[in-house]
A = this chain, B = another copy of it.
Amino acid sequence: MEELNSEILLELLDAREFKKLKEKLENMHPVDIVEVMEEVGERQRVLMFRLLAKEEAAEVFTDMNSDMREDLINALTDSELEEVMEEMYVDDTVDVVEEMPANVVDRLLKATDEETRKKINALLQYPEDSAGSIMNIEYISLRKEMTVEEAILKIRQVGINKETIYTCYVTEKKKLIGSVDVKDLLTVGESRLIEEIMDENVLCARTLDDQEKVAAMIEKYSLVAIPIIDHENCLVGIVTVDDAMTVLQDEATEDISIMAGVTPNEDSYFGTSVFQHAKNRALWLMLLMLSATVSGEILAHYESAMAVMPILITFIPMLMGTSGNCGSQSSTMVIRGIAVGEIEFKEFFKVVFKEIRIAILVGLMLAVVNGIRVYIMYDQDIMLAIAIGITMIAIVCMAKCIGCTLPLFAKKIGLDPALMAAPLISTIMDTCTILMYFAIITAFFKL
């Protein structure tokens, strides 16, 4: 594979050395061509696209982002567009169609033949994030009466257009009854019947299943593809491992965004406008800012205690910070545990029990270290060291409990557990910490 060297390509383009450029492009992976195209102007991009071989052009077209694609569609002639559409897989076409504005969709659909148009419309019916919306409708189906030789012959005839042919599915009246790996076809005798060698225990998913669930199945069972059946148990498509990988990565990105208090959107960081970024972030900030005023009011309430013992204010940032961090640690561990399917609501008490034990250990450690610091720094005030130590253990326990339970409750009532991450937890913990701190301190020093 040629090293990606966009400069050389751009030089060739500027020098109008189209023949050499064409050769270079032929040896490049479509994904890399898209990367180069991202760096050049629109006019150059169209020029470059026109140099690509038909099949490669379709792949490049599939891989580019929606803005680039829209510009390109506007620049291409109808017949050029038709050529690209002909080479594209139906599921990729659907992905493209879903993102385009109505006028572009019209042009795209006009550029596809009648039969494909029907398939596109059928796929467009599936809800976003469903298995149906990401499935591939090109796969090989075999009949159980076929011999291995006939099956191989069928693959030879039709396989060249299929994105994945390594697992073939055996159907009877469109219903899925088994699967055969190409590996098996190649390694058993040619006269054997499909029926004899097929695996009847086929893992499958349904068109309306959540895409994340389907991707997780592919990962769990190390599959290359999973067949998708409709409500009548008829085989309608497959989801392949590369799509599953993208789904899992996108879901992780989405979770990470939500956990940082950012409304996720599907575009990339640079692909999202400043205004959209601000919108995605402002809502949470606003909500948390207003909630945080509660902590402020409570703090103001204890003004008199702080007037008597001004040193009390010194410990507030540390206590608030520690409780927020403790709570976020627990909630993050649980959120991720839920996301990867390790933790379920039924393990509620198991989780809480574990977190409490962790909290006691961690709380003790922090209390001792901090106690020594307080004792040394504040005139060997042993009472103060003890009071802050007790507060520390109490807030760590509280933070870990709240941190681990909120995501589980969120899951239970159908909310995204990732909402219960650092930003919300630390805002809640700020309020709880101040209340707990002054409750302990005022009792301890009889303020």
Contacts and interface: CB of A to CB of B under 8 A. Distances in A.
Nearest to A251: B252
Contacts of A296: 313-318
Interface residues of A, number: 114
A268 B350 CA distance: 14
Interface stretch (A78-86, A107-115, A332-340): A332-340
How many copies make up the complex?
A: 2
Contact of A357 (B182, B274, B422): B274
Interface string A175-191: 00000001100110000
A419 to B, nearest CB: 14
A384 interface: no
A313 B303 contact: yes
A427 B321 contact: yes
A201 interface: yes
Interface in A199-228: 201-204, 218-224
Contacts of A249: 219, 248, 252, 340
Contacts of A321: 288-289, 292, 295, 426-427, 430
B325 A261 contact: yes
B252 A241 contact: no
A414 interface: no
A269 interface: yes
A333 B265 CA distance: 12
Contact of A156 (B186, B220, B270, B343): B186
B317 A320 contact: yes
Contacts of A203: 1, 29
Contacts of A261: 325, 328-329
Given A241-B245, A260-B329, A262-B332, 14 more contacts: A155-B186, A249-B252, A253-B340, A257-B336, A269-B337, A274-B358, A278-B362, A282-B365, A286-B369, A288-B322, A289-B369, A297-B314, A300-B313, A328-B423
8 closest residue pairs by CB, A with B: A260-B332, A295-B317, A222-B242, A278-B361, A296-B314, A292-B318, A252-B252, A292-B321
